[in-house]
Amino acid sequence: MTTVYLSLHALYLSKDCLRPLCYQLLKHCLELQMTSATVFHAVRTLQRQIILRVRGANEDAIAPTATMSGAFDESASLEENTDSFWEVGNYKRTVKRIDDGHRLCNDLMNCIQERAKIEKAYSQQLTEWSKRWRQLVDKGPQYGTVERAWMSLMMEAEKVSDLHHEVKNSLMSEDFEKVKNWQKESYHKQMMGGFKETKEADEGFKKAQKPWAKKLKELEAAKKSYHMACKEEKLASTREANGKSESSVTADQLKKLHEKVDKCKLDSQKAKDKYEKALDELNKCTPQYMENMEQVFEQSQQFEEKRLCFLREVLLDIKRHLNLTEDQSYASVYQEFERVITSASAQEDLQWFNNNHGPGMHMNWPHFEEYNPELTHSITKKEKSKKGNDSIMLTNVTSTVDRSQAGDQGSMSSYEKNEAHRASNEWSDEDQTAPNSASDTNGGANPFDEDSAGGVRVRALYDYEGQEQDELSFQAGDELTKLEEEDEQGWCKGRLDSGQLGLYPANYVEPI
């Protein structure tokens, strides 16, 4: 558009008779904000009017040019180079636009591909973050409805991760492939390089411009010859004038100088006639030249219009895939997220903690139990490390006859085991050989009296501090008696030299 305005402005300054026309056209373009195509048609109309006016002009219209024979200025032969589309070879920018369109398709595909990588990386990061924090929250101390609300944050991340993964798939499988296929269908590569569309446009412009370019070349040659003739005429006139002012110049010399001036004027007139003829011939073929060039340019415009419309369509598709706010599933993610958070209740969580870890817990309070000679309780060390058991678990209940076969004692804590032994022996009629040790250790009868004799001597390898009432404490180097073999939990029953009975870890001692 700027080129058109500059061309009109140049015409306005160069031709006095055309100033009203140029002024009206420039004003019309600015007021109506014409498109490029409209302006080109307007310029074409103006140029045709210029040609008609030049043809119909009388001899006075070219009088300034004729006066050049009397006063020629060398600077007049230097014309400003314009950047107009109509100049020879300036159509190359229009041809290059076709190659640029192919490159822009590649740039758009690279742009889509990089955005898809970002979407994929973001999806993976959300998934990894959700997995890590889900485990941390699950193993942490938070509980109840607030824990569920916290977990919903990770659920939101997982769902959003899936949506962004779908965005990545849409960008690559739909948008990327769409541009790739359109580019392949619109641009056809040649065996010798380049594209068929580029070659056709270039050949079309060359064919349309060739006749006019030939006439222009002839005009430039005639113009150059005319200007040189004017220069020679001026030089001859100057010499004649100088010869007349000098007394040393003879009459014959003045005659020769005068003849030279006449000859230069004749040559100048011939060059001028040839120049005007070349200009007239150029003006005659200009309308056809403009029409042919416009036809080829219009074909290029139509091709570019398809590319621009396609680009706009693809960008709208990309926007639709990236705009998750238009996806109903995306909105439902945050609706569910908000529902879970707002459903969290501090009072409900406090009540849950009260019932499961506070005064609301169930308790097997001590009560009177009748002696049953048919049953004895055999309790092991299983789940000794678990804290906060609410009740005593009794396993491997066997009859008195099978008591010697109750070797599996790995399902209860050592404290529970001791309590079970005490309950089974509390009303026994057997003699208690070590009442003090049992009473001192567990506050009741000794459950290990039956094993008080015999055993294997062992020596402690490390210090050990008993964690419960039925466990022994000793220092490295102390000797004690092992009364029973190691159970499946790694504990042995033994007796210190002081007479205290209890359990100790088997790997803390070695045989003597």
pLDDT in tens, 143-195: 999 999 999 999 999 999 999 999 999 999 999 999 999 999 999 999 888 99
Long-range residue pairs from 23-28, CB within 8 A, at least 24 positions apart, any chain:
none
Whether the per-residue pLDDT at 227 is higher than 80: the answer is: yes
DSSP per position, 274-303: HHHHHHHHHHHHHHHHHHHHHHHHHHHHHH
pTM, rounded to two decimals: 0.54
More confidently predicted of 10 and 105: 105
Whether the per-residue pLDDT at 204 is higher than 80: the answer is: yes
Name residue, tokens 């589309």.
Answer: 85
Reported confidence tier of residue 67, pLDDT bands at 50, 70, 90: very low
Whether the per-residue pLDDT at 93 is higher than 70: the answer is: yes
pLDDT in tens, 294-320: 999 999 999 999 999 999 999 999 999
pLDDT in tens, 19-55: 566 656 655 565 555 444 555 555 566 665 655 554 4
The number of C-alpha atoms within 13 Å of 35 and in the hemisphere containing its C-beta is 3
Mean pLDDT of 62-75: 37
Mean pLDDT of 267-281: 94
Name residue, tokens 């504990």.
Answer: 491
Whether the per-residue pLDDT at 126 is higher than 60: the answer is: yes
Mean pLDDT of 394-416: 39
What was the pLDDT predicted at 147?
94
The number of C-alpha atoms within 13 Å of 205 and in the hemisphere containing its C-beta is 21
pLDDT in tens, 368-390: 888 888 764 444 444 444 434 44
DSSP per position, 142-193: --HHHHHHHHHHHHHHHHHHHHHHHHHHHIIIIIIHHHHHHHHHH--B-TTS
Which of 461, 429, 434 is CA-nearest to residue 447?
Answer: 434
Mean pLDDT of 344-351: 94
